Amino acid sequence: MIVTVIFGSDGGATKGVASKISKKCQGRSVDIKTATKADFENSDLLILGSPTYGDGTLQTDWEENIDKLRAANLKGRKVALFGTGDQESYPTSFVDAIGILYDEVKDLGAVVVGFTDTAGYDYVGSTAERDGQFVGLALDLDTQSGLTDKRVTAWLSKLL
């Protein structure tokens, strides 16, 4: 199975998670700044990752390069999402970025996989929550960093 992880990251936390995910599934990790249309299209499983900024926006590199995603043919392709956020500092917009990416890939006809349970998180609201689940893997590296490896491993075991 060919797995491509495309991420945006400023401080390096989301890049670190993308690297961890790609290593665990023998995939490759690509920064959204250098990603090509082929990076989005030439995989059996496409994994997109972004931190959430401020009160619920995509990371800057994703915002500046969103047209790369929109130009890709994702119809019928399996896409999984992961996001990093801080549920204590931003409880009303926790991992909103993956909610934004979810809407983008759904509009492109992708089949989104890898929904996760909201249990174990303490937040008020999130656009990443749909029908009582997160649209992907939600990670809080600020207040729950000790759970990251366990959550990534469990999530990947469902995906692969």
* pLDDT, tens digit (0-9, with 9 covering 90-100), for 124-137: 999 999 999 999 99
Amino acid (1-letter code) at residue 29: S
Burial bucket for residue 66 (CB in 10 Å: 0-12, 13-18, 19+): middle
Q: Residues 106-119: pLDDT tens digits?
A: 999 999 999 999 99
Give the pLDDT confidence score for residue 3 in this predicted structure.
97
Total domains, the chain: 1
Q: How many residues does the chain have?
A: 160
Q: What is the domain-level CATH number for residue 154?
A: 3.40.50.360
User: Which residue has 């023998």 as its token pair?
Assistant: 26
Amino acid (1-letter code) at residue 159: L
Over pLDDT 90: what percentage of the chain?
Answer: 96
- For residues 14 and 84, the answer to whether their CB atoms sit within 8 Å is yes
* Angle ∠(19,22,23) on CA atoms, nearest 5: 85
Q: What is the CA radius of gyration of the chain?
A: 14
Q: What is the value of pTM for the model shown?
A: 0.97
Range of 17's domain? 3-159
CA distance 72 to 62: 14
- For residues 156 and 24, the answer to whether their CB atoms sit within 8 Å is yes
